Amino acid sequence: MDAGRSATAGHGEEWFVVLPDDECALAVAAALGPGAGPFTVTGRLDHPSGRPWLIGRWDERDLLVGTAGRTRVAVLGCCPAPPDAITALARRATRPADLDRAAGALAGCFHLLATVDGVVRAQGSAFGVRRVFRARAAGSTVAADRADVLALLTGSGVDEARLVSRLMFPAAPPALAGVSLWREVADVPEDHYLLVPPGEPARTVRWWQPPRPTRSLRDGAPALREALVEAVAARTGSGRAVSADLSGGVDSTAVCALAAARVDRLPAFTVVSPDPADDDEHWARVAAAGLPAVRRVVVTDADLPTPYSGILDPGVARDEPYPDIHLRAEDAVRARLLTAQGAELHLTGDGGDEVLHATLAYLPELLRRHPLLGCAHLRGHRALHAWPWSRVARLLAGPRDERSALLAQARALARVGDGDADGGHPDAVHLPAWATPAAVDAARELLRRAALEADPSGRDRALRDSVDLVRHAGRLQRRTSLAAAADGFPVAAPFLDDRVAEACLAVRPHERTTPWRYKPLLAEALRGVVPERSLARSTKGGTSPEYAALPRYRADLLALCEDSRLAALGLIDVDRLRAELNGVWLSDASPITVEQTVGCERWLRDLESTGFATTLMTGAPG
């Protein structure tokens, strides 16, 4: 193996560790050897000193390296910058902080890694698609892009209390959603990088701030157009043949149209819903008619596996439960169909909803700053969503600061179905109906502890909530991307690139989110690129096949109740779960809470078969 480059053949788990420029690096490299568990070592980069710096498995097409003297910079992921630009970065960097400007300017989605005169910098992306974790090994701090790599390296076990956060409905609050699920592995916040100086304690340093939302829709649209065009071009120019989703929604249509403009042939994937009220397929046909390069790959529900197909089959656990666990088999079929069309990388419109809409937290702030305009927006949203006045009151009276919000969530937390348990809190979280009292207590304690570290100021709540919403989508995308890359058919979501999300967040929230227009920022940004009829769409399709298909997969889910690992940890009551599975789902919460529970249960089982009983070294959070 060339110690200065990398090589990956075939499919497998993609991962890397970042080692300090000291004797620890040699010890960790020796412990990893050719790999352990699901992690095969096929690539290595060294510090200028000759000690190992990066070890792991990655696609060589995703790596850019620049070296100048005792400085080496690596960009690992999707980045359209030419190699000499990375060398220029290395030449200009006399300290790790000199890379801040480049980190905020390069297009794509990537890790930025550097070793500058023995000081190591490890950084992911601002919105969670690329992450960094840390732990102690061989007496020093070691970083990685995956928490499970560090868990295997240090012998860390799963933190059962943190796992409860992954059972929260509709989702864990932002303060808990990104935490590592491993006791001795810590996460690096997305807006920070990890700095490891030789002979000194490692620390995190903030590198990213959200843009101020001061642009008008008119000024923000060209910036979004430029960023999204560049994000899609980074994938079409990556050396891989691409395919794209074409669901009929405006987000996937936008990505598909931009990709189709840069390639001669674009396989575009559409699922036709059996629901006559779902008009996605109609809009997919409208879009395809205006995109000559598109070659449609159309399937129906009958062509796809039943939700939860293969759920009893073991898989690779990775560092978190798999999102959309009920669609794991469907994802594999999509990959197989598009690979047969010659595709090597799949583009989706995921993240579009999150970057193009502001959260409703903008309404109280708009009312305070511009009362007449705020009242108009409030009336419009109330009419559009048929809100009762009680919902309006909750929205306007909710806590503004994160600390108060978390404490209110802790007080209101209960199981789904336990009466009106949200206590009037607009952002209440719940646990499944089958959660045990011990799980409820653990969840409350998690929320209280998170509140102690939360910002009590209440400044910029609307902007903070919008950033958190995008990060939630980014973290889900990351977990999907890890599985897809391991299966040999990577996926990418250009809307979640830092520069694209920043372009959206910089627009005034009341101009990119209105009750009178659907995604006006995207419509203005891509006018003349996306077919005009598609931009005029004002509906959103989508169905939930889990409801109708329950009788077909009930037996498999009931089988997961036998010898349940979640029950063994004291987190769920399997008798109540069985009763739910044998009954009729009466609320929208039921399929989602089942999905979350099944995802956690499958993950715990897969950990047992993935080799996590092995300890390569001893360690603690870095």
Question: Above 90 in pLDDT, residue 438?
Answer: yes
Domains of the chain, by residue range, sit at 15-210+614-620, 217-356+490-535, 371-463, 547-610
Antiparallel, parallel or unpaired: β 192-196 and 119-123: antiparallel
15-210+614-620 folds as Glutamine Phosphoribosylpyrophosphate, subunit 1, domain 1 (3.60.20)
Distance CA(497)–CA(235), nearest Å, equals 12
| In the block, residue with structure tokens 């929205």 | 395
Residue 390's pLDDT band (boundaries 50, 70, 90)? Answer: confident
In the predicted model, what is the mean pLDDT of residues 485-497?
A: 93
Question: Above 80 in pLDDT, residue 34?
Answer: yes
Q: What is the pLDDT of residue 216?
A: 98
Residue 336 burial (10 A CB sphere; 0-12, 13-18, 19+): exposed
Residue 128's pLDDT band (boundaries 50, 70, 90)? Answer: very high
> Would you call 268 helix, strand, or coil by DSSP?
strand
Which one has a higher pLDDT value, 116 or 12? Answer: 116
* CB proximity list for 574: less than 8 A, separation 6 or greater: 434, 561, 564, 567
> Would you call 602 helix, strand, or coil by DSSP?
helix
Question: Above 60 in pLDDT, residue 56?
Answer: yes
In the predicted model, what is the mean pLDDT of residues 478-505?
A: 94
DSSP letter (8 states) at residue 485: H
Question: Above 50 in pLDDT, residue 169?
Answer: yes
Distance CA(607)–CA(17), nearest Å, equals 20
CATH number of 217-356+490-535: 3.40.50.620
Question: Above 50 in pLDDT, residue 8?
Answer: no
Question: SS3 letters for 375-392?
Answer: HHHHHHHHHHHCCCHHHH
What does the pLDDT look like over 463-479, one tens digit per residue?
A: 999 999 999 999 999 99
Residue 160 to residues 157, 218, 565, Cα–Cα distance (Å): 9, 49, 11
φ, ψ of residue 183 in degrees (nearest 5): -60, -45
Could you tell me which of 216, 201, 248, 319 has the C-alpha nearest to residue 622?
201
**Chain mean position to CA 47:** 30
What does the pLDDT look like over 204-256, one tens digit per residue?
A: 999 999 999 999 999 999 999 999 999 999 999 999 999 999 999 999 999 99
